[in-house]
């Protein structure tokens, strides 16, 4: 859903303002793209991301959901919609729940009004609590909070306060991302102009505080930035049942259909990307034509290297048998030198049944990933 009320200062994702007529036109075009893929799948997971999906009105959402019902695309075991606090209503939340949406990811970022303003967010701390409450009243029992750390001007005290308030809400899931200064964003321009300082030592301390506090509150880290509530019977060191299964599929190299402008798909070994242009997307689908901007098919080994790299973001690492089932390659035979190097650095841990990154290695996961990649 490529629409936002206002672009956040850190955001490099494709999004744009949402005039009602363009949203209506987009909903119709999206319905046509849904029709194209419906014969190929019965979705196990669905994720509406953005942009700001909750910016759509209840009537616009009803049209999307009714099309999905008509195409037999309902009933996913996990169905997530990203929502922003300033754009939610009880009517909208109940509508989503009634069609089978069972998970909401709430874009909180911070409970500090000053820092929310610093990021260019349109909501307030009071709206966070109100939105969380109405989601519970609408029947949602699986809620994620998105948080950011190392925000310009954020102190350890402010981060601890945000974490304390997040924990008090007792969400089932937490996603916590360090601020990244992406090119072509206002935040990057401020950094380049010398108006901001990056304190890497503080960022590391904030992350360590996150790990300590989530562990004390029964949230298991299963990926670098993601934490899920531990349920009775969840095995230590394995992926918890309340992990975001949609994202786990990405990290485990599974296939997926991406719909909408700028969306990426990976189906039958081919990766495609739609045009990052909503008007063109609508025009093309009004003529019954897909809008694929690029397409590539990696060699099996190159794809296996990407899959290895993404999967090691997870604290469970890569079980050797599972990796071979997904890729057709044995991690130990194809990357023995890289595994030895990561172990020697203290970044990797080789076990009988799997290879995983250590706690220190997870902090350098991007550098570890580069070792595993292979030419396409």
In whole angstroms, what separates CA 9 from the centre of its chain?
A: 18
Give me the pLDDT at residue 186, please: 58
- Residue 203: domain span: 20-251
Give the count of domains, the chain: 2
Per-residue pLDDT, 6 = 62
Q: Same domain for 41 and 178?
A: yes
Please give the pLDDT value at position 19.
73
In the prediction, which pLDDT does 157 show? 96
Mean pLDDT over all residues of the chain?
Answer: 91
Q: Is residue 332 part of a domain?
A: yes
Last residue of a domain, one of 196, 218, 251: 251
- Across residues 362-372, what is the average pLDDT? 93
* Pick from 12-16, 53-57, 73-77, 144-148: least confident: 12-16
Are 97 and 225 contained in the same domain?
A: yes
Interval 162-186 mean pLDDT: 86
Q: Is residue 4 part of a domain?
A: no
So what's the pLDDT on residue 117?
86
Burial category of 325 from C-beta neighbours within 10 Å (exposed 0-12, middle 13-18, buried 19 and up): exposed
CB 272 within 8 A of CB 294: yes
179 and 77 within one domain: yes
d(CA 9, CA 190): 10
Within a domain: 15: no
Residue 192 has pLDDT above 70, yes or no: no
In a domain, 224, yes or no: yes
Across 309-319, average pLDDT: 96
**pLDDT value at 49 more than 70:** yes
Has residue 35 got a pLDDT over 70?
A: yes
Residue 293 domain flag: no
Question: Do residues 106 and 218 both lie within one domain?
Answer: yes
Within-domain flag for 287? no
Pair (31, 152) in one structural domain: yes
Looking at the fold, whether 239 and 336 belong to one and the same domain comes out as no
**Closest by Cα among 183, 174, 180 to 227:** 174
Expressed in percent and rounded to 5, the helix, strand and coil fractions of the chain are 45, 20, 40
Checking if the pLDDT of 219 tops 70, the result is: yes
244 and 348 share one domain: no
Q: pLDDT band at 52, cuts 50/70/90?
A: confident
Chain segment 108-166, per-residue pLDDT in tens? 999 999 888 888 878 899 999 999 999 999 999 999 999 999 888 889 999 999 999 99
* Residue where a domain stops, chosen among 209, 225, 251: 251
Domain with residue 116: its CATH number is 3.30.750.200
The strand order across the sheet containing 348-350 reads 318-319, 354-357, 348-350
Closest CA to 18 of 96, 105, 101, 84: 84
Residue 375 has pLDDT above 90, yes or no: no
DSSP string, 61-128: HHHHHHHHHHTT----SEEEEEE-GGG--HHHHHHHHHTT--EEEEEEE-S-HHHHHHHT-S--HHHH
Does one domain contain both 194 and 338? no
Residues with Cβ < 8 Å from 31, sequence gap 6 or more? 63, 64, 67
pLDDT of residue 262: 93
Yes or no: say if 125 and 112 are a contact pair by the CB < 8 Å rule: yes
pLDDT for the residue 121: 79
Coil, strand, or helix at residue 153?
coil
The answer to whether residues 217 and 331 belong to one domain is no
> pLDDT by residue (tens digit) across 321-359?
999 999 999 999 999 999 999 999 999 999 999 999 999
- pLDDT number for residue 10: 53
- Please report the pLDDT score of residue 216 as a whole number: 94
- Domain end, chosen from 251, 283, 308, is at 251
Give the pLDDT band of residue 290 (cuts 50, 70, 90): confident
Q: Are residues 232 and 356 in the same domain?
A: no
Residue 298 lies in a domain: no
Looking at the fold, whether 166 and 54 belong to one and the same domain comes out as yes
Q: Stretch 169-196: mean pLDDT, rounded?
A: 74
**Would the pLDDT of 199 be above 90?**
no
* pLDDT beyond 80 at 12: no
**For the chain, percent of residues with pLDDT exceeding 70:** 91
- Residue 192 inside a domain? The answer is yes
Nearest to 343 by CA among 360, 330, 328: 360
Same-domain status, 323 and 247: no
pLDDT at 188 over 60: no
Which segment of 167-176, 282-291, 331-340 scores lowest on mean pLDDT? 282-291
DSSP labels for 85-104? Answer: GGG--HHHHHHHHHTT--EE
């Amino acid at each position: 859903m490529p629409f936002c009320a206002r672009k956040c200062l850190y955001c490099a994702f494709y999004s744009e303002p949402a005039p009602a007529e363009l949203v209506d036109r987009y909903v119709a075009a999206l319905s046509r793209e849904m029709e194209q893929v419906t014969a190929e799948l019965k979705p196990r997971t669905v994720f509406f991301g953005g942009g700001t999906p909750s910016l759509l009105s209840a009537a616009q959402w009803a049209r999307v959901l009714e099309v999905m019902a008509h195409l037999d695309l309902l009933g996913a075991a996990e169905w997530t919609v990203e929502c922003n606090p300033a754009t939610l209503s009880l009517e909208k939340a109940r509508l989503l729940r009634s069609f089978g949406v069972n998970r909401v990811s709430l874009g909180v970022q911070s409970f500090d009004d000053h820092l929310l303003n610093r990021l260019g967010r349109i909501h307030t701390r009071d709206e966070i609590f109100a939105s969380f409450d109405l989601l519970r009243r609408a029947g949602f029992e699986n809620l994620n909070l998105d948080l950011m750390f190392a925000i310009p001007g954020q102190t350890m005290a402010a981060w601890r306060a945000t974490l304390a308030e997040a924990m008090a809400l007792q969400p089932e899931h937490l996603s916590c991302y360090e601020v990244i200064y992406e090119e072509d964003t206002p935040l990057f321009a401020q950094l380049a102009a010398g108006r901001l300082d990056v304190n890497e030592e503080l960022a590391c301390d904030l992350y360590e505080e996150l790990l300590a506090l989530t562990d004390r509150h029964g949230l298991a880290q299963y990926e670098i930035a993601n934490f899920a509530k531990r349920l009775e019977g969840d095995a230590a060191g394995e992926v918890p049942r309340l992990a975001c299964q949609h994202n786990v599929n990405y990290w485990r190299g599974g296939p997926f259909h991406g719909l909408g402008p700028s969306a990426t798909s990976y189906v039958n070994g081919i990766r495609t990307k739609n045009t990052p242009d909503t008007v063109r997307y609508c025009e093309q689908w009004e003529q019954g034509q897909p809008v694929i901007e690029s397409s590539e098919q990696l060699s099996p080994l190159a794809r296996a290297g990407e899959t290895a790299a993404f999967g090691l973001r997870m604290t469970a690492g890569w079980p050797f048998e599972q990796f071979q089932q997904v890729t057709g390659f044995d991690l130990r035979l194809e990357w023995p030198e890289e595994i030895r190097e990561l172990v020697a650095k203290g970044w990797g841990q080789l076990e009988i049944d799997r290879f995983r990154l250590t706690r220190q290695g997870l902090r350098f996961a991007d550098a570890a990933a580069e070792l595993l990649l292979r030419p396409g």
